[in-house]
């Protein structure tokens, strides 16, 4: 059995530990492992190579991905998917482990239906916005990167009478912002999934200032596209000098945390076990503290929603 692994879409810490486990567990089970470099673009360009232990030696602590990633508009065209299939056929590869998000999984569903290539998906995105799983690879590392940044900003915030607006990644999902706000002691949390009331927050903040508050930490999800507006709001409505920090791509980097290294191993082990059993087009998910699998169609046709209990915990920071 020949199986390949690839990363697609945005990178995240945890992909290298996953790649390491893929090679080692494949060889342990008599599977020949292959790397597809540079994601879907690399699949089209034939960047496929047999993998060995030496390829994954010393990578477990590294962020990003040694097999690199990409997004591909060409893959939308069948003629390029045909080329991709022929490239896999040259190496007798009939199963691909895909580290990515729901867009990558949808692309492979189409590919699988056309050419019979099986795939097993592993949710790998710091956005944590994949339906059916409570956790995606890379999220814990991203949260710890953000936590460190917010803690550092708090040090300087407490030295001045200032408001600091910190924008987190997540696309249309506010998970990173929400968890960060809850665990960093922020005064404000604004996310796409919940309503907010600036008039109410103004009254609350002005009262807190009268009672001695001297700085504010506001966590804003990038999906709202209002970070600059909130900075201005603090200056014009609250009367506090303010600073905006857009954390950006530092959230995708960094050494994988112990939790991401461990979950990477378990995600990949589950994925290869599914492949060995002949399961087709499955997504490995983590829920109720267990690793399970569900049909890819369930993942790609449903929308992820943040746990309402978590949003409720943050209501005081929204209104």
The catalytic residue positions are 127
Which of 133, 63, 137, 59 lies closest to 98 in space, CA to CA? Answer: 137
Phi first, then psi, for residue 164 (nearest 5°) are: -115, 120
Burial class for 59, CB neighbours closer than 10 Å (0-12, 13-18, 19+): middle
**Residues 193 and 130: beta-carbon distance below 8 Å:** no
Structure token digits, residue 40: 């879907």
Taking 3-state DSSP, the helix, strand and coil percentages for the chain, each rounded to the nearest 5, stand at 45, 20, 35
Residue 43 and residue 25: Cα distance in Å, rounded? 23
Write out 168-230 in H/E/C secondary structure. Answer: ECCCCCCHHHHHHHHHHCCCEEECCCCCCCHHHHHHHHHHHHHCCCCCEEEEEEHHHCCHHHH
Residues 6+ apart with CB under 8 A from 124: 7, 12, 14, 15, 18, 99, 100, 101, 136, 137, 138
């Amino acid at each position: 059995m020949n199986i390949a692994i690839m990363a697609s879409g945005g990178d995240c810490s945890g992909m290298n530990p996953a790649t390491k486990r893929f090679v080692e567990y494949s060889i342990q089970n008599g599977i020949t492992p292959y790397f597809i470099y540079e994601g879907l673009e690399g699949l089209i360009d034939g960047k496929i190579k047999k993998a060995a232990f030496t390829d994954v030696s010393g990578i477990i602590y590294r962020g990003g991905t040694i097999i690199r990633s990409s997004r591909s508009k060409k893959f939308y065209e069948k003629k390029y998917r045909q080329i991709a299939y022929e490239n896999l056929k040259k190496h007798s590869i009939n199963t691909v482990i895909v580290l990515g998000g729901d867009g990558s999984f949808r692309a492979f569903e189409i590919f699988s239906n056309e050419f019979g290539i099986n795939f097993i998906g592993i949710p790998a995105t710091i956005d944590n916005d994949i339906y059916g799983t409570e956790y995606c690879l890379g999220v814990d590392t991203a949260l710890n990167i953000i936590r460190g940044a917010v803690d550092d900003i708090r040090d300087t915030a407490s030295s001045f009478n200032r408001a600091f607006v910190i924008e987190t990644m997540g696309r249309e999902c506010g998970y990173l912002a929400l968890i960060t706000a809850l665990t960093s002691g922020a005064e404000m949390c604004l996310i796409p999934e919940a309503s907010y009331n600036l008039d109410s927050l103004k009254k609350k903040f002005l009262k807190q200032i009268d009672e001695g508050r001297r700085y504010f930490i506001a966590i804003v999800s990038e999906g709202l596209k209002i970070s600059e507006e909130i900075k201005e709001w603090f200056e014009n409505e609250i009367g506090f000098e303010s600073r905006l920090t857009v954390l950006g791509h530092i959230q995708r980097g960094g050494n994988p945390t112990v939790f991401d290294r461990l979950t990477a191993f378990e995600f990949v082990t589950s994925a290869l076990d599914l492949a060995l059993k002949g399961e087709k087009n499955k997504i490995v998910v983590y829920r109720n503290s267990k690793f399970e699998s569900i049909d890819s169609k369930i993942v790609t046709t449903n929308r992820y929603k943040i746990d309402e209990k978590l949003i409720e915990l943050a209501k005081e920071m929204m209104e």
